[in-house]
Structure 1
């Protein structure tokens, strides 16, 4: 049954997708269909485009990825653990708790003993300086030197414990096995099928299409409009013009300002009789 849509690429699988993409670009010169890299698109541009198109590319290998995620989830399910595994896990948890307590005691013993030694010695010598005949001062000094010796012994024990632990871990440590070597056979097969489908049906076709399209590229995908060219919005502005005909179609009337003159006043000789 073919799935309607591919599952979203999980974050834990994105590094694997980027690794397959990087390998495809690294060995692109070995494929004749990818020989056009560098003409109008370089490797970094193709990588950026492929990362931006991750959902579309991974969708081509959707059925294989769905199967791989399902079998991997079944492997990680807690129900897959046997009773012996649970018992061993509980015993290991107890061992780690005991080892942690011992490590805390080993680390705190030198600190506590050294602090006590400093206090006893300081108080004891101060009391001896004030009253040399005071017997309690000698007891404080003796206790201080005892705690100093205990602090030194605790530091030696802690150093020896660290050295023994380092040697034991170094002797029993094994090289980390390959990730695929520890996978069950069905999970390994599902993973390899997803890788192959992702490369052959997703990444390589995308790279071929990008190289075959001369307009593909960052500049072609996001053209910048010219500042002297306004975009068309699908309608034109109305053209306004004066009404045709009507009273305004004839000649416009002209107006002249009235000729105002001042009153004709004369001198006293022109007074009315």
Structure 2
């Protein structure tokens, strides 16, 4: 099976689903009414799968738009939140926002370390007999830094919560396009590609395959099998397909 270079692997199954849909609903299309009399569904399906690289070019423009929109909506939505929390480098951020974040993060760490060291040293000195005069100030300083650590942790938690709540409406607005929700934009792009691929690629290919002129019988009046007959080749992308006639013919080059 030959796939178009621009058709991503995740979209090849969609191509096959559209092809099966076209074959399943062929009775609703007068131009495909000859299915079963000249070529059956399995033969047409095999031909269309083999010519996937040619058929998919009929909807190359719509497919490029669909892939671009899909990639835009796959970007991590939490990137702006993390940038605001870690660096404060968003639009309109104050120059000192990054320094404030550093202080908020480092204060509990440094204060907690100082509290642990001072309390441990102060209570060890208090165990001496008699305890030195430095023991009580060390314990007092240790408990002071412990209070600073708790306060710093509380401030950091509140800051993260406020930042997350502040960025949620901004992310929701950014995820919405000018015409509505982002999912609507993605759905419209996908449906535009599907419609173009079906109406300008798959259906014209099937129609030309069914209307291809029957080859002359060989020796003994026997027609060659379907697998040995030439397959229709595209005249140009997006304008339908044309059969090559009774013999194998090269595609038109359009040279002047």
Per the shorter chain, which TM-score range?
A: 0.3 to 0.5
Give the TM-score taking structure 2 as reference length: 0.47
Compare CA radii of gyration and give the structure with the larger one: 1
Q: Which has the higher contact order (CA 8 A, sep 6+)?
A: 1
Give the TM-score taking structure 1 as reference length: 0.45
